[in-house]
Amino acid sequence: MGSPPDMSLLTRKKSKSQQATDWLTTALKLGAVVSAARGAKKATKAGAKKGAKKAAKSGGKGLGKRLAPIAAIGGLIVVAKKLRSSKSSSPEPWTAPASPTPVAPPEPATRP
């Protein structure tokens, strides 16, 4: 099972006309990609403008309207934590502070 004769590892040198055709094909492909990107950019910009006009017309959402639900949820969490901590913490009985460890009295000084 050898490789087919047209699948050799050595490449043949292309003729000048073939090289020109390859360059032209590459340039056309690049041009198509660039023009598609430009069209997409224009369409995106137009859609953004249209959306901005629509939001301005209907009032849009201000910062307060966006943050109100988040603040309400945060407030509920704080209240729930406070209620849980007040239920679980019962007053602990008073305990006397631990006394320090006793120290041996100094030995009496002797005079010679």
Each domain of the chain, given as residue ranges in start order, spans 17-86
DSSP tag of 10: S
Mean pLDDT computed over 25-39: 90
Tens-place pLDDT, residues 74-85: 888 888 888 887
Q: Are 14 and 23 in contact (CB under 8 A)?
A: no
Query: Residue 69: which of 60, 61, 57, 58 has the closest Cα?
Result: 61
Q: Are 14 and 22 in contact (CB under 8 A)?
A: yes
Q: What pLDDT score does 25 carry?
A: 92
How many alpha carbons lie under 13 Å from residue 8 in its C-beta half-sphere?
5
Residue matched to tokens 């050595």:
10
Mean pLDDT computed over 32-41: 88
